[in-house]
Structure 1
C-alpha cells in the first residue's frame, strides 16, 4: 500500500471491521501446577472472546492530560493540501526514546516515509537509548540545527519538561508520541500527542492470559518501572481485568526500568519461577521483556503446553512464538506504522492552519495464532516474514 493512499486516508481505517476469530481450547495452565488443563470453561472463554472483540472496535485510552482520544483515522489530507505543504519546504527532527524494537523501527520508518511524501526534510533522527540524559543531549544538539518541527517520544516526560520547554521557546513546534510533559499544554506549548490505545492493548493481553489459563491459576506480572504514562496505562488495564477473575492469583510483580529490557525480563522470570515453580504464566509489559521471559522459561523446562505468556507490541520473536502455538498465547498489538503516519500528518495540519485536537490514538489489535499473519501486515504495513507464515502453516 502506498504512502500516498495512506495520506489520503484509505489506510487509516483501523481494524474495527476485522472479525476476531478466537481459537478454542488452547489453554496453557490454570491448575496451579504449571500443567495444561484438559477442558475449558465455556463461560470464561465466551467472556474473553467478547472482551477481545470489543477492544478491537474502540479506543479505551485517555491522553496524558486525561483527554478523550480522537480517532487518528480522522487525520487526512487531499492531494491539493499535500502539494501546498510540499511547497513550504519545512524541516523536522525526530528525537526518539530508543531504537531497536520492531515498534520503534516501524514508527520511525513511517515518519520518514510520510515526511518524504510531504516534502518535509528530516534533519536528523536520534536514539535516546532510553536514558533521560542522552535524549536531553540529543535535543540540545537538534535545537542547534533549528528545525521547524520536532517529533519526539520522551523517555521520561516529567523529567524532561525543561528541555522540551526550551525547544518550544526556541520556536520549534512539537508533536509528541504517547507522552507529553504534564506542565506543558496542547495547543499552546505543543501541537498534539499521537498515541496507541495502551489501555486497550493492556485489556487485550490480559484477556488473552485469562483465556490461556482458563480463568484460574498463578501468574506473574513484569511491568515497566518508570514515569511512563503509556506503560502505566497497560499495567492499570491488566490489574483491572485480572480482578474480574478471583481464581487467578497474581503471585508476584516485578518492575523493569531498562534499558536492558530483555535481560531484566529474563532475570525477573528466573526469580519468579524460583519462588513459584508452579507458575502458570506471565504477563510482560512489552515484547522485548517477553523475549527474556521466553528464554528464561524455556531454560526451566517450560513450553507451550505448560506455560503461557502474553504481552504487548508484536515483535518478531513473540510473533513467531505465537505462530508456533508456543508459550506466547496472545499479544495486544498497537499500530506503530499508522501512528508514525499520523504524527507526520499532525505536522502538516499545523502548516495548513488546520485545527488539531490534543490527543489522537489508534485502537488496539488483538493478535493470536489465528490472525498473526494478517495483523502483522496491519501493524507494520508489510507482509509477515516467512518464518511467521511457515510456522502458522506447519502447525
Structure 2
C-alpha cells in the first residue's frame, strides 16, 4: 500500500490491516453489547450510503448496536445540535464526519470530554488532538486522489493549456488535500499549465461557478472538481452552455461512472473505497471500545479509474454490478459484446 499524503498532524498513515479484528475481538465485542451513534455530513451521496453499509456490516458481526444515524445536510449548526443531543443518549462511541473545522470543534470536544469515544471520518476540527480529543481519523489517501486526477487530466491537455480548479469553500481536510495535491502535481509535472482556482459554496452552485470562471478565463480547457457530485453539476452546466471540456474528479458515483464510460466530459477519476472505509472505522471503533491501542490515522489508497477499467472499479468500490449504462458503453452486455 502506498499512501502519499500525511495526516492532519503530520502523521504517517497506518494501513487498514492494522485494525483488523481477530475472532477474540469479535467475541469480546458481542459480550460488551456496545452502542454507537453515527453523525454524517449527508446521507444522499453514494459514498455515504456505502460508508454506512460497511459500518453496519462490521457492527452487525460484532453485535454492536447503531442507535442513530444523523444526516447533517452539510450544516455545521445541525451537526453541533446533533452531537450535543447525542451526548445525552450516552452511547459508547460516536462516529462523525465533521462538516467544518472551527465551527464544530467544541461540540466534538464535548463528546470526548463526556467519556464517549469519538472517531472521525475524513476531517479533524481545528485544535482537536488524537488520543485526548478523538481516538483516530479514518480517511482515504486524499493527497493521492488529487494526484490521480491531475495525471488523468494532464495527459489530455495541450502544451500551455489552462485548467479551472473548483475547490470547496469550507475548511475541510479531505478536499483541501485533494486540491493541494492536484496543484502540486501540475506545477511539478506540467509547469506549462496555468491553474485558475475558484471555491464553490454548495454542490448546487458548482456549475454556475465553473461558468463564471470560464467568463474570466476563456482559455480554460479542463476542470478539476474536488468530488464527483459537484463535478457532475459542472458537466451539466457545460452541456447547457454547449461546451465540451475535460473534467477530472474524485469519487466513483453512479452519474460520474456513466459519464466516464460513455466518453463524456469526465476523463478520469480518483476513487475512494467507502465500503472498506466504513469497515475500517467500525473495526477501529470496536478495538478502542475494547481498550486496545489504535493508530492515530488509518488511510486507504485510492483507485485510478479510466474508461478502460470503470466496470471492474465500480464493482470493487460499490460491491455490486455496474449500472447497465456503464456495461453498455463498455460493450459487456448481450448485444454489445466485444468483437
Partners in 1 of 2:32 and 2:132 — Cα distance? 22
TM-score (norm 1): 0.81
Alpha-carbon displacement from aligned partner over 1:31-83 (angstroms, at most 9, x marks no partner): xxxxxxxxxxxxxxxxxxxxxxxxxx511121111111111232212223212
Q: Is the CA contact (8 Å cut-off) linking 2:59 and 2:65 kept in structure 1?
A: yes
Structure 2: gaps of 5 or more residues: none
Give secondary structure in 1 for the equivalent of 2:220.
coil
Q: 1:248 aligns with which of 193, 218, 224?
A: 193
Distance 2:75 2:110 in 1: 19
The runs of 4+ residues in structure 1 deviating greater than 6 Å are none
**Alignment counterpart, residue 293 of structure 1, candidates 224, 231, 234:** 234
Alpha-carbon distance between aligned partners in 2 of 1:157 and 1:117, rounded to the nearest angstrom: 33
Alpha-carbon separation, structure 1, partners of 2:289 and 2:229: 36
Contact 2:55 2:282 in 1 (8 A): yes
Give how far 1:173 is off.
0.5
Instruction: Say if 1:65 and 1:182, in contact at 8 Å, map to a contact too.
Output: no
- What TM-score, normalized by structure 2, do the two folds share? 0.94
Q: Which residue of 2 aligns with 1:92?
A: 36
Q: Gapped runs of 5+ residues in structure 1?
A: 1-56
Counterpart pick for 2:164 among 198, 220, 223: 220
Partner of 1:190: 134
Offset at residue 167 of structure 1 (A): 1.0
- Residue 367 (structure 1) aligned with residue 305 (structure 2): yes
Q: In the TM superposition, what is the alpha-carbon distance from 1:216 to its structure 2 partner?
A: 4.1
- Cα distance in 2 for partners of 1:215, 1:371 equals 27
Question: How far apart are 1:97 and its partner, in Å?
Answer: 1.3
Asked if structure 1 preserves the Cα contact closer than 8 Å seen for 2:100 and 2:171, the reply is: yes
Structure 1 residue 268: deviation in Å? 1.2
> 2:80 matched to 1:133?
no
Residue 388 of structure 1 aligns to a residue whose secondary structure is: helix
Report what 1:314 is aligned to: 252
- Tell me if 1:162 matches 2:106: yes
Deviation at 1:166?
1.2
**More relative contact order in 1 or in 2 (CA 8 Å, sep 6+)?**
1
Give the match for residue 72 of structure 1. 16
Are the equivalent residues in 2 in contact too, given 1:151–1:174 (CA < 8 A)?
Answer: yes
Matched, 1:343 2:288: no
After superposition, where does 1:272-291 map in structure 2 within 5 Å?
Answer: 272-291=213-232
CA-to-partner distance for each residue in 1:244-296, whole Å, 9 max, x for gaps? Answer: 3132122x3210122xx1x2111012213333444311110111111111101
Q: How does 1:258-277 map to 2 (within 5 A)?
A: 258=202, 261=203, 263-277=204-218
